[in-house]
Amino acid sequence: MKKSINPLNAISPIDGRYQDQTEELSSYSSEFGLIKYRIEIEVKYLLAISKIGVIREINNSEEKILEQTLNDFDLDEAQKIKEIEEETRHDVKAVEYYLINKLSNTSLSDILEFIHFGLTSEDINNLSTRLMLRGALNKVLLQTIESLNNEILNQSKKYKDLPMLARTHGQGAIPTTLGKEFLVFYKRLEKEINILKTYKFAGKLNGAVGNYNALNFAFPRIDWPKFSKDFVSSFGFEVNPTTNQIAPYEDIIFVFQTIQRINGILLDLNQDIWRYISDNWLIQENKKGEIGSSTMPQKINPIMFENSEGNLIIANSLIDGFTNKLSVSRLQRDLSGSTISRNFGLCLAYCLLAYKNCLSGLLRVKANEQKIEEDLNEDWSSLSEAVQIYLKKEGIKNGYELIKNATRGEKIKKEDWLKLLDKLPINSKQREELAKLTPSNYIGIIN
């Protein structure tokens, strides 16, 4: 057996520096995971063709033998398949030979020639790949992204009523609340998460070019399209009845594009949090023993958000490659799509790392309420919108222009703002109403 990789020798940081943070994906998105799913498909296919009379009935004790073969599958057994593959130079055929060897001394020995009967490797691979993706999504990725989104919601609730200055185009705009800005991200993510949670992959089982040629030739009495639909559906997938050799990748592309949208939302969040930390509106926890800079001892750098951002960019770059390639296959099939799909796990690992780092960062920040309030009240021109709209409502001509001329490009203190109101062509009652406005109470309706 080849020696395992020392993390210090790993080419990819996923298997090296970040191994501890991503290893939970390895049960699904790894060579071992793929092989185990292939065995599951082959075993269940053998049982399925037994039920429709292609081979003799497989009895209960034999079902347990097949079930045990799958349950006992571990790294040592996977290595046996890799050794067979070194000779065959074909990964799926190696699985077939492994099962034949494994079951040759059992009561199933008389039907072993029907393992992988009438199928092409892509019948096995398309289902295995989708099982891998679904397992990784449901058991690992979605749990992590939901934990992250729940923390975003917690921050939203915590700071729902904390007024702060909003910025548009990077410039001071009008007041909002910190909690509401977190809520925007929560709602955006919630929509995409729900898409992933309810989405069904689509698979196929229809032979070398999608026409059931071998199966129909050998057993023309069997309704193979119905069998295919029943078999594929048994894994919780939609069936794709019209294909060539490969199952079209549009369903996988859709899932990755949904993940890409999630990543885009989190890129936006990471960059906003980074800016709030830079402005001292958010404060990071000072953990004893940690170092922010090798030369500037005072620093606490926002490294969790920066790490998250970098990993999201890598993941989205991979997704761009997936979506550009996977919809294209020469004629009935070429191998390039298979090569691409072997990197699905790598992409998911970069996503997982990004989600974990963003969550870790959020758990270590709190609002600097004093600084947020100071900056909010530094410039009362943030009330300009309210006043010009009020003037229009009251029928005062050129209200917008009056306020524009008095405020554009200016920073206005509270006392100067009140003086500005005195100069407006309004009566005392109107002025009294406008004077009640402050940057802290002009926050609109917060959901």
* Burial class of residue 330, CB neighbours in 10 A (0-12, 13-18, 19+): exposed
| C-alpha to C-alpha distance for 42 and 274, rounded to whole angstroms | 50
**Rounded (10°) CA dihedral 237, 241, 243, 249:** -20
Q: Is 293 a catalytic residue?
A: yes
Q: Per the residue annotation, which of 104, 147, 233, 293 is the catalytic one?
A: 293
Q: Which residues pair with 282 in a beta bridge?
A: 367
CB 407 within 8 A of CB 384: yes
Q: Per the residue annotation, which of 4, 169, 294, 428 is the catalytic one?
A: 169
Q: Is 169 a catalytic residue?
A: yes
| C-alpha to C-alpha distance for 307 and 252, rounded to whole angstroms | 26
| C-alpha to C-alpha distance for 138 and 144, rounded to whole angstroms | 10
Smallest Cα–Cα separation from 203: which of 57, 75, 44, 339? 44
C-beta neighbour count of 225 within 10 angstroms = 15
Tell me how many degrees the CA angle 399-377-447 measures, rounded to the nearest 5: 80
Using CA atoms, how far residue 151 sits from 57, 156, 360, 410, in Å, is: 53, 8, 10, 38
| C-alpha to C-alpha distance for 204 and 233, rounded to whole angstroms | 10
Q: Is the dihedral of CA 69, 74, 76, 82 positive or negative?
A: positive
Q: Indicate which residues carry an active-site annotation.
A: 169, 293
